[in-house]
Chains A and B, each alone.
Chain A
Amino acid sequence: MVRFENVGLRYGLGPEILRDLSFLIPAHSFQFLTGPSGAGKTSLLRLLFLSLRPTRGLVNLFGQDVSLLGKDQVADLRKRIGIVLQDFRLLDHMTTYENVALPFRVMGREESSYRREVIDLLRWVGLGERMDALPPILSGGEKQRAAIARAVISRPQLLLADEPTGSVDPTLGRRLLRLFIELNRSGTAVVIATHDITLMDQYEARRLVLHQGRLHIYE
């Protein structure tokens, strides 16, 4: 599904922050991406999400060399990827329900065709009573759950999550991890970037460890 070969990344003329990354993310796989703060976890997720292009090396996503893709093809590929960012990126003028339903609107689906699905997921993540609330009045944890719900609602083939349980209590963190595991069992490859050891200890999965710009894989 994802193949990196000797990938390097630098910002501008600065030093290379990711060096010689070569790895595979198979379909239906589950992995934690970890490493100390500033190790480049978010940059690697952005490479996987095609919002950054590598300085060197080959990135192959869903069988396509990303360096050859046009803007429309990138947009099509992104429809197959869900992403949860640390800053949530919810739209403040839309309700929680509308934020979560956004991927379906972009796909051009009728509201009636996904209404039940969105409401069920919002209840699952504990936002059943906050469906009509606007993001500015949601707590950090609620925003995070809304962002997760938006990322998984369209059942992407690849889910990327950057510190997805950083703002929630341990009980809710376990519930969200269960959501990711369920999503993985239904066929989605999952990459969770975290430095939360407790979270990683709750589920036996492959670990990709970034250290000083290099990647070490523990199967």
Chain B
Amino acid sequence: MSRIGDEHAPLVDLGNERPQVPAQARIMSPIVPRASISGRALVAVVAIMTFLASITTGTVLLVSASAAEWQSEVSSEITAQVRPQAGRDLERDAAAAAEAMRAQPGIVQVKPFTKDDSAKLLEPWLGSGLSIEQLPVPRVIVARVQPGTTLDLAALRSRVTQVAPSASVDDHRAWIERMRSMTGATVFAGIAILALVIVATIISVSFATRGAMAANRPIVEVLHFVGAGDSFIANRFLRHFLRLGLEGGLIGGGAAMLAFGFSESIASWFSGTPVGDQFAALLGTFSLPPSGYLVLAVQALLIGVITAWASRRTLFATLDDID
């Protein structure tokens, strides 16, 4: 028998009993067997959570993109209303106001609405065949602002009211503010749902980890006996949970991406129906841009990593208990 520390000398001397055939390389079993961790339920939970998270994120991205589009459209327009006033000629005031708007730097296009245009705008409420002369209907002038220019609204207002005292100018700021608050509320709700989904995932993973540790307690004890530290033991379990998390993330995220991929077709099935029209108004074309798919992929990966992290946290806490 050799001395301690002499690692290359054999521990026992077999003499003539020593086999002459060189030992073959062996495939070693995993220290924690994969079958001992009931992963199917966990994969399903993570997949469902990732799917919900991806649908939430995708919807938030669609709403934000549509809202940004509306905002840019609305903020590039200003509207002037010229109201009828006793003793003044409405037509002349409207023409003068349009002229004053054209003269304002930054305005690229001015479109005054004629009597017929105004009648058409009111048609849904007042019906067709309306004689607009009998009603005190204001005249509307729509002007388009050059993108990227900051319009001097005070100067425009004063210029327009100088030539048409009954006119008012509206830059749709109130609408934009409401739009902003609606988008903000949607994003906030989306983040809240995401947070809930992540918390639910962490709780599910913690339960699954505790179950796996309880089932493998004899293995943990033997590993302690042979001098394995907590990190060594935790890593043996962690690789299983990371794999399960990534598997669940891939399935859930993939399903959500497919759903968004087919969303245009789905939207077309509902087009013409009130629901379809509402969705089209809210979400535009219902198609996610490539960057959106990238966000969903990163999110699925993140959920896989969160699964591993939650498992690691529980592993160390449980190892403390077992020790």
Contact = CB atoms under 8 A, between A and B. Distances in A.
Contact of B25 (A75, A90, A111, A188): A111
Interface string B215-229: 000110111111111
Interface residues of B, number: 35
Interface in B10-33: 10-12, 14, 17-19, 23, 25-26, 28-29, 31, 33
B226 A71 contact: no
Nearest to A95: B29
Q: How large is the interface on A (under 10, 10 to 19, 20 to 34, 35 or more residues)?
A: 35 or more
A70 B11 CA distance: 31
- Where chain B touches its partner, the secondary structure class is loop
Interface stretch (B1-9, B77-85, B132-140, B264-272): B1-9
A89 B229 CA distance: 18
Contacts of B4: 155, 157, 186-188
Contacts of B5: 155
B37 to A, nearest CB: 12
Contact of A91 (B1, B12, B26, B222): B222
A120 B12 contact: yes
B321 interface: no
Interface string A102-128: 110111000110011101110110001
B232 interface: yes
B12 A182 contact: yes
Contacts of B12: 120-121, 124, 179, 182
B230 interface: yes
A150 interface: yes
A128 to B, nearest CB: 8
Contact of A75 (B18, B28, B224): B224
By CB atoms of chain A within 10 A, which of B221, B228, B232 has the most?
B228
Given A75-B227, A121-B11, A106 B232 contact: yes
B29 A94 contact: yes
Interface string A67-98: 00001100111111101010001110111011
A120 B14 contact: yes
A106 B227 contact: yes
A172 to B, nearest CB: 15
A176 B218 CA distance: 26
Interface of A: 49, 51, 71-72, 75-81, 83, 85, 89-91, 93-95, 97-98, 101-103, 105-107, 111-112, 115-117, 119-121, 123-124, 128, 150, 152-153, 155, 157, 179, 182-183, 185-188
